Structure 1
C-alpha cells in the first residue's frame, strides 16, 4: 500500500468510525430529554429509569466520540499538512465554534449525570436539553467545514495565493444548509432506528416489556419523522449537487454522456471502460427532473468533465444506490408505523412490526456511511473542490501505511470495548428495573 492510499484509507476509517458516535451524540440526548420530560410530567417511574439508563449510554458514546474526534483533528494536520496550511485560516471558524459547543456539551452532561437530587427537577431537565442542543450544533458546525470543501467560498485564489479571506462567508457557504439539514435528519433516522431496534428485540424477548416499550415509542417516533422528511432533504441536496458539482452527480448516477431527458439509473454495475451501466433499470427523464425540476433539462455527463478531474464511478454509484435503497426501506417502515399509530393500533403489539424494526437496526448507519462515501469519493480528485487536489495535500512523510495499520487496530479495539459496555448496559436493565419495589426505590 503506497502512502497516498494509506493516508486516504486512514482518514476514511477514522471518519467512518467517528461519524457513528457523532450521530448518536447529536441525537440520544434528545431521546433522554423527552423521557425525562415524561417522567417530570407524569411521574411514571419507568421514564425516570429509562432516562438514567439512556444517560449512561450517552456518557459512553460521548467519551468514545471525544477520543475519535480528537484523533481526527490530529490526522488533519499530520496526513494533510498542505491542506491545513492553506485551508485552516479560511474554515477554522466552524472548528473553533465546534470546540466551544463541545465544551458546553461536556459541562452540561456533567451537570446532568451528577445532578439527580441536587438540582431543581426542571433545571436538571434543562441541562439535558443543553447537551442535545450543543451536540447538534457541534455536528452542524463540522458539516459546515466539510461543506466548504465541496463548495469553497470566502477567499480569492490568485496565483496560488489565498487572499481576501472572509471566514463568515466560508462557514456559510453554498453547500452548508443542504448538507446540514441532510446530515441532521440522517443522524436522527439512523440513531432512532438503531435504538428502536434494540428495544424492539428486548420486547420480543419479553424482557422488562414496560421499560422497553417506553423506549421504543420515543425512538421509533423520532426515527419515523426523520425518515419521512429525509427524501425532501435528499431532493434539496441533489439539486444543489447538480448545480455546484456536476461531476459528482454524474458519478453518483453513472451518467456517462451529457443528454436531455436524462434517465435515472436504478441499480446496475458501471463499466467505466465501456461507458455504460450493466444490469440497471432506467427511468427516462427522471434524472433531469430530480436534478433540475424539468423532465427535458440537459444533465451534464462525465464526457464534459476532463479525464483528470473525473471522480471514480463504481464506488459513488454503488454507495448512492445503497443509501437511497436503505432510505426508502426506512420510509416504508415509517409509514407502516404511522398507520399503526393512527389507524391500526393492534399492529403496535404485533411481532411482525417489531421484527421489522429489529431488522432495520443497522439500516440508518449503513445509509450514513454510504452517504459519506458518496460525499468524499464523489469529490475526488479534489480535497478542496476545484482548488486543491488531494494528491497535492498529502504529507511527504513516509511510513503512513504502518500508521494506518496501527490506527485500524486501535479502532477495532475501541469498537469491541464499546460493544461490550453497551451489551452489559442493556443486560443490566432488567436486573435493575424489573421489580416494582426496585422501581419505586429508584
Structure 2
C-alpha cells in the first residue's frame, strides 16, 4: 500500500467522495511499509549470508569467517529488534487504517498474516539461541540454528507476499448479494501470481542486504583496511548480491508479461503508453503533460519486445481504460524506470567485477570500483522503494484489484493524522538509534572489543570461547 503520492495524482469519479481517513491512511502506510521493508530485507537475507560464513568457519576451520558470523549475528539482532517495533505497528495498522478492507476480507487473508507472524517468532527464537550459543556450543552444532532462521525468513516473505499477490489477483471467495461467501483462505497461497512476486522480492532482499554489507567493507578498504577480514567480509555478501542482480531482470521480465494480462492499466503506466501502438516503442524517461508525452526517448519496437515478448504485439494504451480506473501515470512510470535503471547499473557493476577477476585483475584495489559498491548500498534501497511504488501505486485506484477501491477500504477518521505524526517521531528516533548503535559497535570492534551486548544475546562478561585470528574490525 505504498501509495503516498496517489491522492494527488489519481483521477477518481467525480461523484465519489473520499473518506476523511483516506489521505492519512495512505501516508501512514507509505511511511510504515517504506521503513519496515528495508529492515525486512535484512531479516530475510542476513541469516543465509551468515550461514555461509559460519559454515566456512565451523566446518573448514576458518576462524576469520567465524568471527564475521559472530559480528553479523549481533548486527542482525539489532536490526531484528528494531524491525519488531515497525512490524508490530504494521500489525495494528491494517485494521485501524483500512477497516473496509479487513472488515470485508479479513477472513480471506487472515491466515496468511497469522503464518507470517509465526515465521517472525520462529526467527526471533532461533536468533536468540544462536547468539546465546557462542562459547557454549560447538560451532558445528550452532550452525544448525541458522537453518530455521533462514527458512522462517523465507516463509515469512512468502506469506506476506501472498497477501500482496492476492490484492493484485484476488481469489478464495465469492461475492453473493454484496456478501463475501465461500471463503477459502488456502487459495491465497496457491494464487498463480504468488511465486513470481515472492521470488522478485526475495531477490530484492538479497540485493539490499548484500550490497549494504559489501559496501561497509568496501568503505573500510577505501580507508586502507585491506586485510583478509575486509576482503572476506566483502566477498560473501557481494556474491549473493551478484546472483540476485543477475537473476532479477529475468524474474522482472516474467512478472511484466503477467501484468500485461492481469493489470493492463499498470503496464500502460509503466510504459507511458497513452495510446495503443503496434509495435509499441520503449520510452525512456518522459512525463505526461496535458495529455501528451514530453521529454521521452523512444526506441521503436523494443516496448513490444520487452513487455509482450513480441515484435508486433502492442502494449494496451490508457485510451482503452476508463479514466476512473487509471493509475497516476507519471509517478508509476518514473518509479518503474528508476527501479529498472538502478537494476541495470547493478548488473554492470557485478559483471565488471567478475569479468575483471576472470582476467586476473583485482578491482578491490581500484578506488573507483570501491566507491561504486559503496554507492550501490543506498541505490539498492532507492530501487526497492521505487519498485514498491510502481507496483502499489500502479494498482490504484484499487486496493483489491477489480473488487474494492482504495477509498472504499479507508475509514472516516481524520484523527489518523495524529497517528502519522507520532509514528514519524518514533521511526525517526529508531533510525537515529540504529545508526548510533551500529556505528558504536563498528568502532568498538575496530578497537578490539568483542563482548558487545546485543538484543537476545548473552550478557557481556559471560564466558565465551573467543575465535582466534581476529582481524581488523569494521
TM over 0.5: yes
Residue 23 in 1 paired to residue 23 in 2? Answer: no
- 1:295-334 matches, within 5 Å, as 295-334=311-350
Asked whether the equivalents of residues 98 and 137 of structure 1 are also in contact (C-alpha less than 8 Å), the reply is: yes
Instruction: Identify if the C-alpha distance between structure 1 residues 35 and 406 changes in structure 2 by more than 3 Å, giving closer, same or farther.
Output: same
Asked whether the equivalents of residues 208 and 430 of structure 1 are also in contact (C-alpha less than 8 Å), the reply is: no
Q: Secondary structure at the match of 1:153?
A: coil
Asked whether the equivalents of residues 59 and 140 of structure 2 are also in contact (C-alpha less than 8 Å), the reply is: no
- 1:249-288 matches, within 5 Å, as 249-271=267-289, 273-274=290-291, 276-288=292-304
Asked whether the equivalents of residues 247 and 302 of structure 1 are also in contact (C-alpha less than 8 Å), the reply is: yes
- 1:9-20 matches, within 5 Å, as 9-20=27-38
Instruction: Tell me by how many angstroms 1:37 deviates.
Output: 0.9
Equivalent residue, structure 2, for 1:440:
468
Instruction: Tell me by how many angstroms 1:208 deviates.
Output: 6.8
Asked whether the equivalents of residues 178 and 240 of structure 1 are also in contact (C-alpha less than 8 Å), the reply is: no
Alpha-carbon separation, structure 2, partners of 1:170 and 1:198: 39
Asked whether the equivalents of residues 147 and 179 of structure 1 are also in contact (C-alpha less than 8 Å), the reply is: yes
Q: Which residue of 390, 394, 397 maps to 2:406? A: 390
Alpha-carbon separation, structure 2, partners of 1:60 and 1:72: 19
Asked whether the equivalents of residues 63 and 469 of structure 2 are also in contact (C-alpha less than 8 Å), the reply is: no
Higher helix proportion (structure 1 or 2): 1
Q: Secondary structure at the match of 1:432?
A: coil
Asked whether the equivalents of residues 91 and 171 of structure 1 are also in contact (C-alpha less than 8 Å), the reply is: no
Q: Which residue of 346, 354, 364 maps to 2:380? A: 364
Equivalent residue, structure 1, for 2:17:
none
Equivalent residue, structure 2, for 1:180:
198
TM-score by length of 1: 0.95
Equivalent residue, structure 1, for 2:137:
119
Equivalent residue, structure 2, for 1:170:
188
Equivalent residue, structure 2, for 1:8:
26
Instruction: Tell me by how many angstroms 1:86 deviates.
Output: 1.4
Q: Secondary structure at the match of 1:295?
A: coil
**Could you list the per-position Cα deviations for residues 63-83 of structure 1 after superposition, in whole angstroms to 9, with x for gaps in the alignment?**
111111110110001010110
Alpha-carbon separation, structure 1, partners of 2:237 and 2:362: 19
Asked whether the equivalents of residues 433 and 439 of structure 1 are also in contact (C-alpha less than 8 Å), the reply is: no
Q: Which residue of 142, 146, 152 maps to 2:160? A: 142
Instruction: Tell me by how many angstroms 1:402 deviates.
Output: 1.9
Alpha-carbon separation, structure 2, partners of 1:440 and 1:208: 19
Asked whether the equivalents of residues 363 and 369 of structure 2 are also in contact (C-alpha less than 8 Å), the reply is: yes
Instruction: Tell me by how many angstroms 1:309 deviates.
Output: 0.9
Instruction: Tell me by how many angstroms 1:270 deviates.
Output: 2.3
Residue 219 in 1 paired to residue 237 in 2? Answer: yes
Equivalent residue, structure 2, for 1:414:
430
Give the aligned length: 437
Q: Secondary structure at the match of 1:171?
A: helix
**Could you list the per-position Cα deviations for residues 315-349 of structure 1 after superposition, in whole angstroms to 9, with x for gaps in the alignment?**
11111111001000001001012113322333233
Superposed CA RMSD in Å reads 1.7
Equivalent residue, structure 2, for 1:37:
55
Alpha-carbon separation, structure 2, partners of 1:441 and 1:18: 36
- 1:148-159 matches, within 5 Å, as 148-159=166-177
Q: Secondary structure at the match of 2:298?
A: strand
Q: More relative contact order in 1 or in 2 (CA 8 Å, sep 6+)?
A: 2
Asked whether the equivalents of residues 126 and 149 of structure 2 are also in contact (C-alpha less than 8 Å), the reply is: yes
Please identify, of 38-47 and 20-29, the stretch whose mean Cα deviation from structure 2 is larger.
Answer: 38-47
Equivalent residue, structure 1, for 2:13:
none
Instruction: Tell me by how many angstroms 1:300 deviates.
Output: 1.1
Instruction: Tell me by how many angstroms 1:411 deviates.
Output: 1.0
Alpha-carbon separation, structure 1, partners of 2:158 and 2:25: 25
Q: In structure 1, list runs of 5 or more residues that go unmatched.
A: none
Q: Which residue of 344, 354, 358 maps to 2:370? A: 354
Alpha-carbon separation, structure 1, partners of 2:283 and 2:75: 41
Asked whether the equivalents of residues 340 and 348 of structure 1 are also in contact (C-alpha less than 8 Å), the reply is: no
Asked whether the equivalents of residues 49 and 433 of structure 1 are also in contact (C-alpha less than 8 Å), the reply is: no
Q: Secondary structure at the match of 1:157?
A: strand
**Could you list the per-position Cα deviations for residues 38-62 of structure 1 after superposition, in whole angstroms to 9, with x for gaps in the alignment?**
1113322211211111011100111
